[in-house]
Amino acid sequence: MYNRTQNENGSYNSRCLDCFMTIASCVETEQELEQREAHHLCPEKVLAQLLAEGRAAAAHAARN
């Protein structure tokens, strides 16, 4: 989920809606914008994944 905005000069900005980090600003083309978004490692998603893995590990430990 990204919030894209366009500047007066036609360039683009993109902000991640999960961590609210600006991942692209004054990018010339939509193509580059997509590349920036594809390469964004969202700390919010990484954290959620770590928490999910932690819960899975805890559940596994409780079973044994």
Q: Which residues bind Zn ion (CB under 5 A)?
A: 16, 18-19, 42
Give the residue with the Cβ less far from Zn ion, 41 or 61: 41
Distances in whole angstroms, Cα of residue 26 to Cα of each of 6, 14, 48, 52, 57: 8, 9, 30, 36, 43
Q: Between residues 22 and 58, which has the closer beta carbon with respect to Zn ion?
A: 22
Give the side-chain half-sphere CA count within 13 A for 29: 3
Rounded least distance, CB 35 to Zn ion, Å = 15
Shortest Cβ 9–Zn ion spacing (Å): 26
